[in-house]
Amino acid sequence: MKTLNRVQGIQKRGLDISLALLGLILTGWLIALAYLISSFDTRSHGLFTQQRVGMGGRIFTLYKIKTMRPSQHIQTTVTTANDPRITCIGHFLRKSKIDELPQLWNVLIGDMSFVGPRPDVPGFADRLNGEALVILSVRPGITGPATLHFRYEEDLLATQSDPDTYNRFVLYPEKVRLNIEYLRDWCLKKDIQLIWKTLVG
């Protein structure tokens, strides 16, 4: 499947840099405040970092505000709405999406884009094959068609008896389909529309 051409890539990256700079200027104070609150709330460093699979299969470090405390009994990376690891303040940060704001830095330095497939942990995106490999031809995004479609993913996973299996065999394949469809007909206008839909909820 054909990916974005050079001109489209420049358009997309230009939008990313412009919006990331604006976003960091406007929300830098909020990121700092959320970091301090999270540090007290989780009794640890308030910045969450995790290795994710990016464009071309390259591993990068994703940044978020920490919303969970570690648990010796829960090791899965799949998070449900009733996950006991999430703190009370963490629930608010996740619902308001404030925990995602540090990813503006990921966008600015070129690890991510504003719109695209969500970056997955190793074990998902690095196992794509066939037509689905087109997903790795672009930077992963903060938001995107699959993100909006499954905006209540954690609530959905909370209703499943085996969230890990449901995520791997039901949700993930559907996300791949939506992301392939997004890239097949990509245009700058579509990215702007998806960003707007994300902001207005």
Does 67 score more than 70 pLDDT?
Answer: yes
C-alpha distances out from residue 68 to 27, 34, 99, 147, Å: 22, 13, 11, 21
Domain presence at residue 193:
yes
**Which pLDDT band holds residue 116 (cuts at 50, 70, 90)?**
very high
Domain presence at residue 10:
yes
Structural domain boundaries enclosing 78: 6-200
pLDDT of residue 15: 97
Indicate the pTM of the whole model. 0.91
Q: What is the mean pLDDT of residues 28-46?
A: 96
Domain presence at residue 107:
yes
Domain count, the chain: 1
The whole-angstrom separation of Cα 115 and Cα 95 is 19
The whole-angstrom separation of Cα 54 and Cα 113 is 10
Domain presence at residue 166:
yes
Over residues 81-92, the pLDDT tens digits come to: 778 888 999 999
pLDDT of residue 131: 92
Does 14 score more than 80 pLDDT?
Answer: yes
Domain presence at residue 1:
no
Mean per-residue pLDDT over the chain, rounded: 92
Domain presence at residue 168:
yes
The whole-angstrom separation of Cα 123 and Cα 190 is 29
**Tokens at 9, concatenated:** 């890539």
